[in-house]
Amino acid sequence: MDFNEVAAVSGKGGLFKVVSPTRTGVILEALDGSGKKIIANIQAKVSILSDISIYTTDEEGAVPLQDVLRKIHVEFKGDTGLTSSSDPDELKSFLKFILPEYDESRVYVSDIKKLVTWYNTMAKTLPELLEKKEEQEQTGEKPAEKEKKAAAPKAKKAATKTKSEK
């Protein structure tokens, strides 16, 4: 699974796994473990997590949400100690610690609450998604390169068999 397969729906709490597209929308399954599925039609505002960013005051102007979630995971390893009902000042200082350059005038407390809720959900249900980047940085390889290296010996063996059989 990847951040391209995780979505948030406006008006619905929590995160959803994208199951499959339909003619008029998309089928989503709740990540909370309930197994509940919903059909989000064209009118529903569905946001894929890989498309979401957090405003910053630096040159780039925004940081992808997936990078922020991975930074949180590196620092807190699944337990931030925060919930959506935490004190607003505590939530702001939390984000300031994780992302010092975040734009305080454009990122609201409600956005930070969503960030904390989404992180807590993902840390429970999809921790491997938050750790992918760490493994990639340690090995210095992209996942696609890793898969190619793993497939190369198999392809080589298959080619060798084909030559020897001739």
Burial (CB count within 10 angstroms: exposed 0-12, middle 13-18, buried 19+), residue 48: middle
pLDDT in tens, 77-87: 888 889 889 99
Q: Where are the alpha helices (DSSP H) in 4-142?
A: 65-76, 88-98, 109-125, 127-139
Q: What pLDDT score does 78 carry?
A: 84
Using pLDDT thresholds of 50, 70 and 90, give the confidence band for residue 132: low
pLDDT in tens, 89-121: 999 999 999 999 999 999 999 999 999 999 999
pLDDT in tens, 142-158: 444 444 444 444 444 44
Over residues 24-33, the mean pLDDT reads 90
The tokens describing 140, both together, are 């210095």
β-pairing, 46-48 with 53-55? unpaired
Question: Is the model's pLDDT at 160 over the cut of 60?
Answer: no
Spell out the domains of the chain, with CATH numbers in brackets.
3-49 (2.30.30.730), 52-128 (1.10.10.1650)
Higher per-residue confidence, 135 vs 123: 123
Q: What pTM was estimated for this model as a whole?
A: 0.76
Distance CA 51, CA 35 (A): 24
Spell 121-149 as b/e; 16+ CB within 10 A means b. bbbebbeebbebbeeeeeeeeeeeeeeee
Higher per-residue confidence, 10 vs 136: 10
HSE (side-chain half, CA atoms, 13 Å) at 81: 5
